[in-house]
Amino acid sequence: MNDKPVDDSQRAVKSADRVLDLFELLSGWGREMSHVELADALDIPKSSLTQLLKNLVARGYVNFSPVSKGYKLGEAFTKLAQRTSQTHNLDLLASPVLEEIAEETLESCTLNRLRGDQSEVIATVVSQLRLVSHMRVGDVGPLYALSSGKAMLAAMPDAMIEEYMGRVVFERITPKTITSTAELRREIAQVRDLDIEYTSVRQCRTDLDARHGFQGDGVGRAPILPLPAPAIR
């Protein structure tokens, strides 16, 4: 008999496996499942399953019907899947908007999204002018170093900004790169006070929402449409 204790990391992995197994089972079953059916199909002790379902129901990932006593995937799971689908299709949806902006301004235009603590380019249209400044699809940069990143920070709630300030490590990319939280705070305040980049955030979000039904989440994760132009212009 193996009496070796199970450490916390093993318990965590086992719990994660059970959650994933539950999601896969409910998504392929085609109807609601009872507590007994779930316990039998997943080979989970009923007491453990009860606590697992309680947490998932509370978070909205599983829905429980008090009438049928059955469980099925909840709205939170559906919204998560929809958000993932939106992200994958966003570059295609935004292309007409990017082309229109590039045509009217004669400048390159990119669509950036928040990816961790970086701003990522997911779509771009290049200016027809000879002297251009633009980033390529897939390029990423730290939020503190890019105008799109600072616009994203300005759109975040103050609590999220404070969390970011507590973990950011500055690296000088160009001679003008911000290298301190004090400098970054000043620039975020200027974005909000001058309402330049921040207005662009709201307007671009409105344009995409109106044309394609894209919804940001209100914490700086809506897409940003920066217009980089060479300083000589």
- Residue 174 has a pLDDT of 87
pLDDT of 171 over the 50 cut: yes
In one-letter notation, the amino acid at residue 229 is A
Chain segment 79-104, per-residue pLDDT in tens:
877 766 665 566 677 778 877 877 77
CA gap 142, 168 in Å, rounded: 9
pTM of the model: 0.51
What angle is formed at CA 188 by the lines to CA 186 and CA 191, rounded to 5 degrees?
110
According to the per-residue pLDDT averaged within each range, which of 25-39, 91-105, 115-129 is highest?
A: 25-39
Which residue's structure tokens are 């939170």?
A: 76
- Pick one of 3.30.450.40, 3.40.640.10, 3.30.70.20, 3.40.50.970 as the CATH number of 84-212: 3.30.450.40
- Residue 12 has a pLDDT of 56
pLDDT of 215 over the 60 cut: no
Closest CA to 132 of 102, 165, 95, 167: 102
Chain segment 218-233, per-residue pLDDT in tens:
444 555 655 555 454 5
Overall fold of domain 8-73 = Arc Repressor Mutant, subunit A (1.10.10)
Helix boundaries (H) for 156-217: 158-167, 181-194, 197-212
Q: Using an 8 Å Cβ cutoff, are 206 and 199 in contact? A: no
The domain spans of the chain are: 8-73, 84-212
pLDDT of 69 over the 50 cut: yes
What angle is formed at CA 15 by the lines to CA 12 and CA 18, rounded to 5 degrees?
155
Higher pLDDT, 24 or 2: 24
Closest CA to 154 of 232, 208, 212, 222: 222
